[in-house]
Chain A
Amino acid sequence: MKHWQLNNEANGIVVAVLDRAGESTNALSTEVMLELSQILDQLDKTPPAGLIIRSGKAAGFIAGADIGEFSQLDTPGKGLALVARGWDLFNRLAAVSYPTLALVRGHCLGGGLELALACRYLLAVDEAGTKMGLPEVMLGIFPGWGGMLRLPQRVGPAAALDLMLTGKTLDAKRARNMGLADDCVPPRVMEMAARQLLLSQQPRRALPLVQRLLNGPLKAVVANGARKQVAKKARPEHYPAPYAIIDLWQQHDGNALAAPEVVERIIQSPTAKNLLRVFHLQERLKGFGKPSDDKASDFTARHVHVIGAGVMGGDIAAWCALRGLTVTLQDQSLERMAPALKRAHALFVKRLREPLKIRAAFDRLIPDVAGDGVAHADVVIEAIFESVEAKHALFRAIEPKLKPTAVLASNTSSLRLEDLRTALARPERLVGIHFFNPVAMMPLVEVVEAEGADPTMVRAACAFVKQIDKLPLPVKSAPGFLVNAVLAPYMLAAMRAVDDGISPETVDEAMLAFGMPMGPIELVDTVGLDIALAAGQQLAGGAEAPRCLQQRVDRGQLGKKSGQGFYDWSSGQAKKAAPGSVPAGLAEKLVKPLVDRSSQLVADGVVADADLADAGVIFGTGFAPFTGGPLHLRAGRR
């Protein structure tokens, strides 16, 4: 066998080790699954005392199905065959006469978890990398290899649907607490624990009676609740998969083969194809931060120095500390940094949960009024207020203290790097590392290359962005880079519609129905009307500001931050009236400037190609992912 290795132990236990040939991570390709069925054939002939399935990779257990094979599902029938392949194989695994155990260490996702669920026992190894989940929905498909059948049986239907409909993952402890894993053990005892559990003959933990009822006669209760939850986040015409998951579970006990028309509809849907495209775009962005073949140029940051503890600087610092870097945060006084440190602590509490980890992250985030961190830093990010003079003075002061290899970056969104770097003795070292607000939520970071910039520094900046688990998008220096440059004409068009007498609620509803995560008017309120006005003046090519915007700014109604903008924010949420009926073609009219500008920026070389423009607009603005991106959408409509 190419991918599996069988170890027969003296006690009659067989250990099947998956070590997929030629890849760094395990995925369930056709070949891998064929070999697994051969293993089952072999064990049918001479049943072992028990079977342990584990990974031979350092990276994790099994990442899921082989996504490369998804793009080959071009003709009807192939999708159904793909579902049948896993459904049948894992049913067979679940029915074997001998006890089976999946030893899950590292990621165990999608088909990987469906395989593990088909084993009698699931033993999770308590390590940072251990993550279990069924994220198929994020690719616009469903867990058709038994996940929809077996996950509800293990954790109860409500929890199972929550996992399958959001795609979120569980760590080892949570998996154990929810009943997904039979136990959760540290690596030092995993070998002994696996063998003990395998031969224990202990029955699987039974679901409580209420959960069994909800997974049986009362399915409708859970299903209706789940449909309501999903409806808040995704419209069925945009995202059919979550609705299909609920239906398949409710009506067919998770057996997708019982509803072949659903399988074909979902797998052949443009949404699934486009979400797969988005997945590949994401992988491509990650690739910009991967080390090159030339090991000497590898860049790893240990210490980041952030200057300016405002919303952006403070949150960038907090994020870097969360990701394990030592961070010095500089501002004029500790008092000015205190709000940022408070937000950082709240972020650590939310994301890290364990007190010792929270404390360690807070220890790594060092307030540094004196700016002593500059001399130690591998990356220095300037996030002070937008003034060329102030940034010049800052660069002059810190450049002599920088390590020669340190990346010097500006988080500016409105100033030209070419103007900022004139204060430097080594102007070519300055790059833009442009984060989006809120930093913890937004996956994209634009890495801005000015004319004549040192390519080593640009590469290092991308590597740094990747290191902190963000998606680097290389862009050329130009007003608004990519994301703000495409948002500005879109927001402008939305406000012009308001000038034309369409209510803000109706404008927002038009774009929500189009698939945007937030309406453009609410977005203006969130960004701040003053910021939108300034950005408009910079990015709209001298066009007059919309009347509705100018009037509100004149009245001091600056949006969410002032409590009133287009909407009333006094409760912290936008208070919206019911939208009117959306005029035909409004969404297309409003999105056109965004698409036009995306296309123009590709033509101008600000972003390297149309795919990257789509990636940037999706991950930077939340532009309806099911469309595959603005340029993909336009190309498809043609």
Chain B
Amino acid sequence: MQPIYVVDGARTPFLKAQKGPGPFAASDLATQAGRTLLLRQPFAPSDLDEVILGCAAPSPDETNIGRMVALRLGCGKKVPGWTVMRNCASGMQAIDSAIANIQCGRSQLVLAGGVDALSRAPLLYSDAMVRWFAGMMSLRTVNQKIRHFLKLRPAALLTPVIGLMKGLTDPVIGLLMGQTAENLAWKFGINRRQMDEFAVRSHQRALAARQAGHLAEIVPLVDGQGTVYAEDDGVRADADLAGMAKPKPFFDKKYGNITAANSSQITDGAAWVLLASEEAVQKWGLEPIGKIVDSQWSGLEPAQMGLGPVHAATPILQRHGLQLADIDYWELNEAFAAQVLGCQAAWQDDDYCREQLDLPGALGKIDEARLNVDGGAVAIGHPVGASGARIVLHLLHVLRRNNAQRGIATICIGGGLGGAMLVETC
């Protein structure tokens, strides 16, 4: 196995979905962050061996968005570009696919990342409407068409299928992602106040990181109207427990604990890392910020998908003979406050560790001072495809600024998966 270097990285600010489609398409986001990242490299975009982009919900006019963005970045026709989809870990999958290709010698220099513009998720016609349209297409005479038109049911027309809700629903068991997180809260007895406290802290940490200038990874965006988007706009300076207590449960209406406020935000964003082999580092005289040492994908019960990080990070620890405390910093993606707390609870649970992870007993707890130190998706948002790449990039920056060495970035994945990467600074 040869070392896999992370040379550099960049991301857009994460823009919270407001009313209607956001200002940027997914490929706009990936292009604006990527072109600035490439500009500061000593090589030309055309020197890349490939571009891999994770995206969970590309729009219909962004087919193979990875290739599309490679071209928009000026990589030229010869640089292959492709798209990967592993739902919430699509950006991490892009990195892992790059690693695989570097390991087997196919590539030396790869731009990998993730993107999603969830605010632009489409509204879809129901099957009933699609059948009506298809019926209309097959008719010839005006008379037939008029009669067919009268069969139109306005209710079907005015009740579109919300693409985003489909994307956030487990396709096998039919649960909304938030409902799988409610399962964890129930399983481990996590209450609303604990979730809300966690959410408030995520906002406070994200705000502190911004104020301390710890987010140099952000490339500000600009649109054609000259409007500048410089910061993650979901972060709230006024986040407090009283405010967190107000929203009603969203997923299990009335009786649940999980609200929009203690969940990750629906957001648009892109994140990239630039990966290089030893040979490429030598050839271009690159100065890597870190290495990716190991990665792991694991499956688990879809109804408890939020525990994915536990299942993915544990085998990495075992392979390297490490305890939770041996990891200097953690980025555990905050799909839901309850889900991060659930991961902590699972690792502290003797039964869970024995039965589900084949461990002799509880593994312990991640020191909260080393977990998501600059906040997470609850505060800044979770543009699904981008998050996996963002946490890998951000973790390296956290390690470097604390003169630390080793970190794990891990993410839960709708459908019952977990992904994790062990990284080290150079």
Q: Which A residues contact B (CB, under 8 angstroms)?
A: 326, 328, 334-335, 337-339, 341-343, 345-346, 349, 359-360, 362-364, 366-368, 370, 372-373, 375-376
Contact = CB atoms under 8 A, between A and B. Distances in A.
Interface stretch (B31-39, B106-114, B193-201, B356-364): B31-39
Interface in B81-112: none
B66 to A, nearest CB: 16
Nearest to A360: B72
B403 interface: no
A366 B222 contact: no
A367 B31 CA distance: 12
A337 B36 CA distance: 15
Contacts of B222: 334, 337-338, 341, 367
Contacts of B44: 376
B39 A335 contact: no
Most buried by A among B42, B74, B222: B222
Given A326-B74, A334-B230, A362 B36 contact: no
Interface size range of chain B in the complex: 10 to 19
Interface string B207-243: 0000000000000101011111010000000000000
15 contacts: A326-B74, A328-B39, A334-B222, A342-B224, A342-B225, A342-B226, A349-B224, A359-B72, A360-B72, A363-B72, A363-B73, A368-B39, A372-B36, A372-B39, A376-B44
Given A341-B222, A342-B224, A345-B224, A366 B72 contact: no
A404 to B, nearest CB: 15
A382 B343 CA distance: 55
A341 B39 contact: no
A8 to B, nearest CB: 40
A155 to B, nearest CB: 33
B121 to A, nearest CB: 21
A345 B225 CA distance: 7
B228 A335 contact: yes
Nearest to B37: A372
Contacts of B73: 363
B40 interface: yes
Contacts, number: 51
Nearest to A364: B74
A368 B36 contact: yes
A334 B224 contact: no
Nearest to B40: A372
Nearest to B25: A359
B63 to A, nearest CB: 14
A370 B39 CA distance: 10
B227 A338 contact: yes
B226 A339 contact: yes
B228 A338 contact: yes
Most buried by B among A337, A345, A367, A368: A367
A196 B224 CA distance: 44
A341 B227 CA distance: 9
Contacts of B39: 328, 366, 368, 370, 372-373, 376
A363 B31 CA distance: 7
Given A370-B39, A370-B40, A375-B42, 15 more contacts: A334-B228, A334-B230, A338-B226, A338-B227, A342-B224, A346-B224, A359-B28, A359-B72, A360-B72, A362-B224, A363-B31, A363-B74, A366-B39, A372-B36, A373-B39
Contact of B220 (A334, A360, A363): A334
A190 B42 CA distance: 45
Contacts of B226: 338-339, 341-343, 345
7 tightest A-B CB contacts, nearest first: A342-B226, A345-B224, A338-B226, A372-B40, A372-B39, A334-B220, A363-B72
B283 to A, nearest CB: 17
Nearest to B220: A334
A360 B220 CA distance: 19
A362 B23 CA distance: 14
Interface in B11-61: 28, 31, 35-36, 39-40, 42, 44
Contacts of A349: 224
A433 to B, nearest CB: 22
A343 B224 CA distance: 8
Contacts of A334: 220, 222, 228, 230
Contacts of B31: 363
A366 B39 CA distance: 9
A367 B224 CA distance: 13
Contacts of A373: 39
Contacts of B74: 326, 363-364
Contacts of A328: 39
A372 B40 CA distance: 5
Contacts of B227: 338
Most buried by B among A328, A360, A372: A372
A328 B73 CA distance: 13
A334 B72 CA distance: 21
A184 B204 CA distance: 60
